[in-house]
A and B are shown apart, each in its own frame.
Chain A
């Protein structure tokens, strides 16, 4: 749910955690060779912005994440509607889907790398391949879960196929689909970062790996912080949008399974 009250206690705890981190690193109680204090990597974000490194990387990751998510969602919803509505199609393909879905998606990243090399196509392919599953499966479940009475109503009103989908099936399946979309969005960001880390040499993931290889922990933490912010931002935006568009969905929160 959207809560308008500011959670001061929560923000204070956050600040306290950051303060504690700072104090521990400064006083040398925690000794890691590569753990910078927040005061060391915080300003680094600013300098990365002014040096022109951060903004293009951020925009690249954001753009690829959203593009991949939209494509994956479209594929997932369309195929999901098809398989959810047609009993024959479902019967003759669902077992294949279940088997394919069991393959851990990240293990396909090397295949995408083999096939597409280091390119944005490779990044998009892995995003779509991974993020389409939750949308597809949730759409199928949602469509198949539409109450029989609703289907009868549609038949009684002699609604045409498309109208039936638009007016009856989609609204009834919407809660399940939204859950799938939410999972897919966090997966898209993860896979965009993964793709950039090992494949496509651009974006935040690539910048992060380069900072690590250059043994620049301040820069690395700055990028990780920005990636975290992007994750929180995307999640919040989708939550806001779904609460606005589907007020009947009381469910808040993001993907519980966000690998």
Chain B
């Protein structure tokens, strides 16, 4: 309770290895073999482990019924909105607690407690207070995704070179110009690093909220399919969720590449 939110070092520890390219493709062999055996030995009507061909059929059924596309759209909206809100709020809070030692000490324990709260536990509260709707989903996801941005922004502010501020002073830059030309570019990589960590979290929590509350989206569709024992459909939808997160990770990697190329040095 008395420790600060985290030592800045943890931000470094969580930095994903940069420039790590995808491992050799022959590594896909075990997965391929597994899926092949599954397909050959799995029985069509298995309620637990339906073979991959039934996944495709389940997805196709959903697509033709016109439920798959809106579900993907809903998940995308919740995920995107929450990530934007979490980034803005997290960066602002992070910059404040990073710049002001007093604010850090004052808010530290409260933030620490809020951060340790499992997001799943927030779902019933949000559902009761806000109701079963889109706003509730965004609120819960934001609550979970804000921490990486906040912590990384805070570490970014701490690591700011004092020379930057001296430069601004000796150039007689206005407050606005100091922010725009020096501080913002210097902080951007830290904030984006936070977003990189926050994006997968936001996606997972979006699905979690949808599974728990069944309010729209891919998660709700997965939960409903499971309830109706349409296991082929469940596995197919998991595959879609996997693709979704693959795309998110890819976009985030692009973003990261961009940031590090434009890193002020």
Task: Tell whether, in the assembled complex, residue B237 and residue A107 are in contact, meaning their CB atoms are under 8 Å apart.
Answer: yes
Given contacts A10-B106, A110-B211, contact A91 B13 (CB under 8 A): no
Check if B41 is an interface residue, CB within 8 A of chain A. Answer: no
Q: In the bound complex, do residue B117 and residue A228 qualify as a contact, i.e. CB atoms below 8 Å apart?
A: yes
Find out whether the CB atom of B116 lies under 8 angstroms from the CB atom of A3.
Answer: no
B63 within 8 A of A: no
- Tell me the chain B residues, 97-146 only, with Cβ under 8 Å from chain A: 102, 105-110, 112-125, 127-129, 144
Binds B, one of A51-59, A71-79, A190-198: A190-198
**B19 within 8 A of partner (CB):** no
A85 to chain B, nearest CB (A): 16
Q: Do A257 and B197 have beta carbons less than 8 Å apart?
A: yes
A95 neighbours in B (Cβ, 8 Å): 22-28, 31
State the CA gap A95–B241 with chains docked (Å): 18
Residue count of chain A within 8 Å CB distance of chain B: 81
Is B47 a contact partner of A114 (Cβ separation < 8 A)? Answer: yes
B117 close to A197 (CB less than 8 A)? no
Q: Is A11 an interface residue (CB 8 A)?
A: yes
Q: Does A17 belong to the interface (CB within 8 Å)?
A: yes
Give the distance in Å from the alpha carbon of A150 to the alpha carbon of B109 in the complex.
41
In the complex, whether A37 has a CB less than 8 A from a CB of chain B is no
**CB distance B115 to A258 under 8 Å?**
yes
Interface band, chain B:
35 or more
Are B102's CB and A256's CB within 8 A? no
Residues of A within 8 A of B114 (CB): 228
Q: Which of A42-50, A97-105, A153-161, A165-173 contacts B (4 or more CB under 8 A)?
A: A97-105
Q: Are A258 and B27 in contact (CB under 8 A)?
A: no
Contact indicator per residue, chain A 236-259, by CB within 8 Å of chain B (1) or not (0): 100100000000001111111111
Please tell me if the beta carbons of B208 and A106 are within 8 angstroms of each other in the complex. Answer: yes
B255 close to chain A: CB less than 8 A: no
Give CA–CA (A186, B144) in the complex, Å. 12
Is A189 engaged at the interface, CB distance under 8 Å to the other chain? Answer: yes
A38 within 8 A of B: no
Contact of B1 with A by CB under 8 A: yes
Task: Collect the chain B residues with CB atoms within 8 Å of residue A209's CB.
Answer: 124
Q: A14 CA to B108 CA in the complex, in Å?
A: 9
* Given A10-B105, A104-B203, A106-B204, A193-B120 contact (CB < 8 Å): yes
**CB-CB under 8 A for A189 and B24, given A254-B6, A258-B147, A259-B205:** no
Q: Which A residues lie within 8 Å of B225 (CB)?
A: 110
Minimum CB–CB distance from A129 to chain B (whole Å) comes to 12
CA gap between A257 and B117 in the complex, in Å: 13
The answer to whether the Cβ of A151 comes within 8 Å of any Cβ in the partner chain is no
Given known A-B contacts A102-B246, A104-B245, A96 and B106 have beta carbons under 8 A apart: no
CA distance A97 to B31 in the complex (A): 8
B13/A96 in contact, CB under 8 A:
no
B212 within 8 A of A: yes
B residues bordering A, Cβ < 8 Å? 1-7, 9-14, 17, 22-31, 47-49, 102, 105-110, 112-125, 127-129, 144, 147-148, 151-152, 197-198, 200-201, 203-205, 207-208, 211-212, 218-219, 222-223, 225-226, 229, 231, 234-235, 237-239, 241-242, 244-246, 249
Q: A99-B28, A110-B222, A252-B4 known; 5 other A-B pairs, CB under 8 Å?
A: A9-B105, A10-B105, A96-B27, A111-B234, A256-B152
Q: Can you pick out 18 interface pairs between chain A and chain B where the beta carbons lie within 8 Å of each other?
A: A3-B4, A7-B2, A13-B110, A14-B110, A90-B27, A92-B29, A92-B30, A93-B29, A95-B28, A99-B28, A104-B245, A113-B226, A186-B118, A215-B128, A252-B6, A253-B5, A256-B11, A256-B14
Q: Which residues of A contact B (CB under 8 A)?
A: 1-7, 9-14, 17, 32, 34-35, 90-100, 102-111, 113-115, 141, 175-176, 179, 186, 189-190, 193-194, 197-198, 205, 208-209, 211-212, 215, 217, 220-221, 223-224, 227-228, 231-232, 234-236, 239, 250-259
